[in-house]
Amino acid sequence: MSSIFFWRKKREEESSVSVASEPAATTSTVPISELTPSTLPVRSSKKGIRSLFSFAKFDAGDLQSLEDILIQADFGLAASEKIVASVKNLAKAQGASNEAQLREILAQVIESELAVSDRSLNLSSGKLPYVFLVVGVNGAGKTTTIGKLSNWLVEGSWSVVLGAADTFRAAAVDQLATWAKRSGARLVGPKSDGQDPASVAFEAVESAIESESDIVIVDTAGRLQNKTDLMDELSKIRRVIEKRAEISEVLLVVDATTGQNGLAQAKAFAEVAKVTGIVLTKLDGTAKGGIAFAIQSELGIPIKLVGVGEGINDFAFFDPKEFATGLVA
């Protein structure tokens, strides 16, 4: 079943007087684009590929310099070669020769490659609650991502339950509780120290079903992709949740500043957790945003959401055009 665009529900207030002759109120929908989080900012000369261009000029006759720049920006060798080949072909076809023309072509190539994937959050099952499982390594920004996402959803009139299934890190539950309070979501956490993370996830889904909540977002412990036991635990959490509800999204949170290590993380988590989308954090703090292109190009996993600042509203759907334009501005 194909994904549908992520919609914001507009709830109808129930009338205190029931009129039998009137039809039941229906739920209408409006695009989530009506929410106003921060959009992906245009990169300044100090942050994007443009700052690298200031050190290495290139022209249609010598595109090796462009390939080197892209590799430095974490696009990866294969992706960089593919981009340069496309730029070279388009430059020849269009008779482009100066740097401004080549930058414009480069932006078009990057955008076209990134624009092929569906970036909507999958709600196609039509069954409540929708479950989002959030995974990633330590320090990537999972808890912050969950807080920002839950705040966004609550502002859009969705009822949200947060499942605190990170039972390994002492402060994890407290941090998620703080985000739940800030966002207006409801928290389901462990009842005892060391409780099995899978059982916490299960209880969060059960609670959401009983309360007829719309969405469950399950936090998981940060884990290195090469730790087999912890990765196996993700498989267990999936199995347990799926006994009660369908998992709509598995979102892998990747720190944009980690470079090609982010690609290695994505490969490992994709195999174990069946990742459906990437959340790229700290995109505002790096000049090497090419990791977004590398992940999608090599793995076919779309970048769905991005963190672009520390504020609770600094969170947006990934926009390929804004991203590409910012990189080469």
> How many Å apart are CA 227 and CA 245, to the nearest integer?
27
Q: Residues 179, 143: contact at Cβ < 8 Å? A: yes
Residue percentage of the chain with pLDDT more than 90: 32
Question: What is the pLDDT at residue 46?
Answer: 31
pLDDT at residue 65 is higher than 50: yes
Mean of the per-residue pLDDT values of the chain: 78
Q: Which of the four pLDDT bands, split at 50, 70 and 90, describes residue 225?
A: low
pLDDT, tens digit, 9 for 90 and up, residues 10-25: 343 333 333 233 333 3
Q: What average pLDDT does range 258-267 have in this prediction?
A: 82
- Is residue 131 within 8 Å of residue 216, measured between CB atoms? yes
Question: Alpha-carbon torsion 284, 285, 288, 292, what sign?
Answer: negative
- Judged against a pLDDT cut of 80, whether residue 240 lies above it is answered with yes
Q: Is the confidence at residue 187, as pLDDT, over 90?
A: yes
Write down the pTM of the prediction: 0.81
Neighbouring CB atoms inside 10 A of 23's CB total 6
Angle, CA of 324, 326 and 327, to the nearest 5°: 65
Q: According to the model, what pLDDT value does residue 147 have? A: 93
For 132-166, how does the pLDDT look when each residue is reduced to its tens digit (9 = 90+)? 999 988 888 999 999 999 988 888 888 999 999 98
How many other CB atoms are found less than 10 A from the CB of residue 90? 17
Pairing mode, strands 160-165 and 28-31: unpaired
User: Does residue 60 or residue 48 have the better pLDDT?
Assistant: 60
Average pLDDT over residues 299-314: 84
Element (H, E) at 268: helix 260-273
Measured CA to CA, the distance from residue 175 to residue 195 in angstroms comes to 17
Could you please report the per-residue DSSP string of 46-78?
TTSHHHHHTT---BTTBTHHHHHHHHHTT--HH
Contact predicate 299/267, CB 8 Å: yes
Predicted pLDDT of residue 181: 95
Domain 130-275: which CATH class?
alpha beta
Cα 314 versus chain centre, distance:
13
Predicted confidence at residue 96, as pLDDT, reads 85
Question: What's the half-sphere exposure (Cβ side, CA atoms, 13 Å) at 141?
Answer: 26
Which range, 15-19, 85-89, 229-233, 299-303, is most confident?
85-89
Q: Among residues of the chain, what percentage have pLDDT more than 70? A: 77
Cβ neighbours for 162, distance < 8 A, ≥ 6 positions apart: 146, 150, 176, 179, 180, 185, 186, 187, 188, 204, 216, 217, 218, 219
- How large is the average pLDDT for residues 30-55? 36
Whether 130 has a pLDDT exceeding 60, the answer reads yes
Using the predicted structure, report yes or no on whether residue 190 has a pLDDT greater than 90: yes
Please say whether the dihedral angle defined by the alpha carbons of residues 314, 317, 318 and 320, taken in this order, is positive or negative. negative
Q: Where along the chain do its domains lie?
A: 49-114, 130-275
Q: Residue 226: what pLDDT?
A: 56
| Residue owning tokens 């609770």 | 312
pLDDT for the residue 58: 60
- Residue-level pLDDT at 21: 33
